[in-house]
Every structure is written in C-alpha cells, then in structure tokens.
Structure 1
Amino acid sequence: MSRPPLPPFTAETAALKVQLAEDAWNTRDPERVSLAYSPDSVWRNRSEFLTGREEIRAFLTDKWAKENGYALRKQLWAFTDDRIAVRFQYEWHDEAGQWWRSHGNELWAFDADGLMTRREASINDVPIDESERSIFIRQPHAG
C-alpha cells in the first residue's frame, strides 16, 4: 500500500502531506485516518504510547467519542527527506459543553511507501469560550 506524496519530500510535497493529514483527521473517521500509518507505527500522544494500526484506530475512536465538534488545522513547520514537523491547533467541546483549544507539535517519520512509522505529539489544552472559537471544518484539499 502506497500513501503519496512519498519521500523524499520537497517543500511542496511536505506541505501537501500535511494538508492531506488535516483533511483526513477532520473527517473524524478512525478507519480512514489509521490507514495513513504503517501496520507497526509507533505513537506517543501526550502521555499515551501506542503501537500498530489497531491501537491507533481504537485510540482515535475513543478520542472522537469524547472530543465533540472537533475541527483541526495543521501547518508545516519543517521537513527533511523522510520526516516532517508540524504545529497544530484544534477545537472541541466536552460533554459538559466546555470548549477547548488544543495546541501542539508533532514529529512524523515515514517509510518509502509514504506511511507514517512514527508520530510524537505534544499537546496542551486551553479552555475557551464558545465565542472565542476560530477553527472550523473547511473543504478538503482536492489533491
């Protein structure tokens, strides 16, 4: 299975990879999103450590069951041949109706087929008023 764009990345293909990831995550479809990761992908998400697509899929299913109204923006920070650094923000609300803005950075590593083999995510949450929301779902990239 191949997941273009493939390494080695250029500025253009790294930016496209980030945009495609944003589009996929905004679907909140754990199955679709999990297919971007290698079968043995290793994750650190905050203080959780995951290995493999099955654990990633289960994690995402739980995440989006709790994070209502989830909307994400990702931005390319830096890249090399097979690695990408991203900064991101997303907004969501909990079951009590409290809105949150989550800020973070991700470090990604890819195999030759363009599947992510490693994801390191550091994330901080800030409570916000619903009137402070600034992130909404936009049309996916047509690439």
Structure 2
Amino acid sequence: MSRPPLPPFTRETAAQKVRMAEDAWNSRDPQRISLAYTEDSSWRNRSEFIQGRDAIVAFLARKWQTERDYRLIKDLWAFDGNRIAVRFQYEWHDDAGRWFRSYGNEQWEFDEAGLMRRREASINDVAITEAERRFHWAAPGPRPADVPGLGPEPR
C-alpha cells in the first residue's frame, strides 16, 4: 500500500501531508487514521508508548471517549527527506464540560511508501473557558478552507 505524497518531501508535499493528517484526525475515525501508519508503527504520545496499528486504533478510540468535541489544527514546522516536524493545537472538553487547548509538537518519520513508521508527540494541556475557544466548525470533520491555520503565535 502506498500513501502519497511520498518522501523525499518538498515544502509543498510536506504541507500536503500535514493537512491530510489534520483532516484524518478531525474525522475522529481511528480505523481510517490507522491506515496512514505502518503495521508496526511506533508512537510516543506524551508518556505513553504505542506499537502497531491495532494499538493505535485502541489508543485513539480511548482518546476521543474523554476528549469531546475535538478540533485540531496542524502546522508544518520543518521537513527533510522522509521526516516532517509539526506543531499543533487542538481544543476539547471533558465530560464535565471543562474546555482545554492542547499545544504540541510532533516528529514524523515515513517509509518509502509514504506510511508513517514513527511518531513522537509532546503535548501540554491548558484549561480555557468556552469563550476562549478559537476553533469553531462542525465536528467531526475537516477544518473548512476559510478557517486559517495557526499562523504566528501571539506574543
């Protein structure tokens, strides 16, 4: 199975890969998302280590049981050869209705078929009020074209 765009990445193809990942994660469909990874893909997500597609599906299903109304924006940070670095933010609320914005960075490594074989994610959560939310589109689903990416961080 091949998952274009394929490495080595250009700025354009790396940005395309990032947007495809963003759209997939915003679907909140663990099975769909898992198909972008190698069968034996290795993840570090915060302090959790995950190995293989079945574990990815289980992890994502568990994630979205607690992270309700999840909306994500990813932004290309850097790329080289078969690697891409991403920064991201996502918003969600818990069962009690408390809202959070999660900030993070990911490092991705792809095989020659364009499947991700390694993902390392560092993530921090910040409590926000519902009025502080930035991401407002129908979810699950991709970020609409008229909703901007992250852009520069506020100073």
Return the offset for 1:115: 0.3
**Match for residue 144 of structure 2?**
139
CA-based RMSD: 0.9
Return the offset for 1:29: 0.3
State the distance in 2 between where 1:42 and 1:4 align: 20
**Match for residue 113 of structure 1?**
113
State the distance in 1 between where 2:103 and 2:35 align: 24
Unmatched 5+ stretches in structure 1: none
State the distance in 2 between where 1:61 and 1:34 align: 11
Is the partner of 1:87 in helix, strand or coil? strand
Alignment of 1:11-26 (within 5 A): 11-26=11-26
Return the offset for 1:65: 1.1
User: Residue 72 of structure 1 contacts residue 136 of structure 1 at CA under 8 Å; is this kept in 2?
Assistant: no
**Match for residue 67 of structure 1?**
67
State the distance in 2 between where 1:61 and 1:120 align: 19
**Match for residue 6 of structure 1?**
6
Q: TM-score, normalised by structure 1?
A: 0.96
**Match for residue 42 of structure 1?**
42
**Residue 87 of structure 2 corresponds to residue 87 of structure 1:** yes
Q: TM-score, normalised by structure 2?
A: 0.89
**Match for residue 58 of structure 1?**
58
User: Residue 88 of structure 1 contacts residue 105 of structure 1 at CA under 8 Å; is this kept in 2?
Assistant: yes
Unmatched 5+ stretches in structure 2: 138-142, 146-155
Is the partner of 1:100 in helix, strand or coil? strand
State the distance in 2 between where 1:103 and 1:119 align: 16
Return the offset for 1:135: 1.5
Return the offset for 1:139: 3.0
State the distance in 2 between where 1:113 and 1:7 align: 8
State the distance in 2 between where 1:131 and 1:40 align: 41
Return the offset for 1:136: 3.0
**Match for residue 77 of structure 1?**
77
In the TM superposition, what whole-angstrom CA distance separates every residue of 1:48-91 from its partner, at most 9, and x where no partner exists?
00000000000000001111010000000000010000000000
